[in-house]
Amino acid sequence: MKSVILGIPIDMVTKEQALDRLLLFLENGKHHFVGTPNPEMVMEAGKDAVFKDALLSADLLIPDGIGLVIASRFGKKKLRERVAGCDLLEALFDRLKDTDKTIYFLGGKPGIWEKAAGKMSEKYLGLKAAGGFHGFFTEAEEKGILLDIKNKKPDVLVVAFGFPKQEKWIAAHKDLPVKISWGAGGTLDTMSGSVRRASPRWRRMGLEWLHRLILEPRRIKRMIKLPAFLVLAFIEQIKGPKKNFT
């Protein structure tokens, strides 16, 4: 089941249900696109048709932002909980640490992916990093990255360019021999220790966004879009979504 919010079908899953689906993705041999939308991304999809098409092509869209959970309450199909992309990805790492599955880290500033891979390998002993590259590559370097991924065939490709670039990139490279391509946003910064996450208590209260705002006041320009998002989502539920997703 999906909850359609401003034209984007968000999967009505808990963290545990999403993890089960990821494990199934790893077993069926096909390429799967996992997206982690939040209200800002949904708003952007209303203005960027290519980005919207990329999101619509995803095999799993988890409700990464608490604003999506709130907006879903205006309609009949309510999202069950916020599923933070970073938490879900680490839960997947925990399940893969004692297997032969491999992870490829792509994105962040130079040096970030190596730190993220190192810390995750320490935290989840046995987790296997196939390789990686930073997100500020040239066109020539991109060719080498694509060749490296094709040669190594990682099971999970973590793409952390920030939206909408990462989603468009994943949609354009669905022929890569990976089982899961994951739009990770700033997750590598968090995993590397470069950005400190809110405490579990703040996260349980749905206030991780406030923690980020305190640490990065410049994000206020992005945060003020949330009231407009909620108004649009409310109007949509009154009129009814344009498309039905099951």
- Give the domain ranges of the chain: 2-239
Q: Which residue's entry shows tokens 């960027």?
A: 48
Query: How many angstroms separate the CA atoms of 130 and 105, rounded?
Result: 8
User: Contact 95/127 with Cβ under 8 angstroms?
Assistant: no
Tokens representing 27 are: 């077993």
DSSP string for 209-246: HHHHHHH-GGGHHHHTHHHHHHHHHHHHHHH--SS---
Q: What integer pLDDT is reported at residue 56 of this predicted model? A: 98
pLDDT of res. 228: 84
Judge whether 116 and 62 are in contact, CB under 8 Å.
no
pLDDT number for residue 107:
98
- Bridge partners (DSSP) listed for residue 115: none
Find the angle CA(176)-CA(86)-CA(130) to the nearest 5 degrees: 40
Contacts 24+ apart (CB under 8 A), 146-152: 146/173, 146/176, 149/104, 149/176, 149/177, 149/178, 150/176, 150/177, 152/102, 152/104
Q: Quote the CA–CA distance of 161 and 107 in Å, as a whole number.
A: 5
Given a cut of 50, the residues of the chain with pLDDT beneath it are 244-246
Inter-CA distances, 142 with 132, 133, 156, Å: 12, 9, 18
Closest of 45, 49, 50, 37 to residue 3, by C-alpha: 37
pLDDT at 245: 45
Q: Residue 135 is which amino acid?
A: G
Cβ partners under 8 Å of residue 87, min gap 6? 15, 203
How far is residue 148's CA from residue 138's CA, in Å, rounded to a whole number? 15
pLDDT of residue 239: 75
Structure tokens at 91: 């839960």
Give kind and range of the element (H or E) at residue 199.
Answer: none
Q: What is the pLDDT of residue 197?
A: 63
pLDDT, residue 226, reads 78
CB atoms near residue 78 (< 10 Å): 13
Q: What is the pLDDT of residue 27?
A: 95
